[in-house]
Amino acid sequence: MLLLTLRGTPTLYYGDELGIGLVEIPHEQVQDPRELREPGLGLGRDPARTPMPWNSTANAGFTTGTPWLPLNPDWPVRNVEQLAHAPQSLLALYRRLLALRRAHRALSVGEIALLDADGNVLAYERRSIDERLLIVLNLGDRPETLALPPPWREARALLSTLGGEDRLTVAERLALRPAEGVILAARSSV
């Protein structure tokens, strides 16, 4: 969420939107020249360059041949086709964040102002000429709260990284679940 709510051009590496992460590459399947020259140091790029799992067919729909690197171990369930139909998936979250970024100019070119926050909370406002958005991130593994300044006490929740925007009560304090991010829109800018 942080990347897609800050100014500038966001860069996503393929597989990020599925939450694939690094894939363990057996020594005999290493392809990267650096890892081949200096084995065992973990300097090769192969763990981040595995084939994109498109579906649950043979070789994840990536190729009819043999992929040059192994697929992520959970490819039968962590693939584009499966996650595209799961409303709470990471892929769905990325799509929602990208749609919000396109719809709200403040997210891509607006100004930024940090808010005071305690604990593991990071809060900042994004502003453009005609709108104000508040992004609140709980970077910890425990519930947190943020005391909201008066202009934000009547805000409307646009997105929660954990879903359930309708459950959010925006008043004097905003309650955040562990590892949750929230985007709020000021009433005057919606």
pLDDT at 63 over 50: yes
Instruction: Count the neighbouring beta carbons within 10 Å of the beta carbon of residue 38.
Output: 11
* Average pLDDT over all residues of the chain: 91
Over pLDDT 70: what percentage of the chain? 97
At 171 the pLDDT is 78
Sorting pLDDT into bands at 50, 70 and 90, what band is 76? very high
What is the rounded CA–CA span in Å between residue 133 and residue 2? 13
At 91 the pLDDT is 95
First to last CA, the chain: 20
Burial class (CB in 10 A: 0-12, 13-18, 19+), 127: middle
pLDDT in tens, 80-133: 999 999 999 999 999 999 999 999 999 989 899 999 999 999 999 999 998 999
pLDDT at 66 over 60: yes
Q: Write down the pTM of the prediction.
A: 0.86
* pLDDT top residue among 16 and 187: 16
Query: Quick one: average pLDDT of 23-51?
Result: 92
C-alpha dihedral (97, 100, 106, 107), degrees to nearest 10: 10
pLDDT in tens, 129-166: 989 999 999 999 999 999 998 888 888 889 999 887 77
DSSP string, 5-36: GSSS-----TTGGGT-------GGG---HHHH
pLDDT at 190 over 60: no
In the chain, the domains with their CATH numbers are 20-77 (no CATH), 90-189 (2.60.40.1180)
Query: Quick one: average pLDDT of 58-76?
Result: 94
At 5 the pLDDT is 95
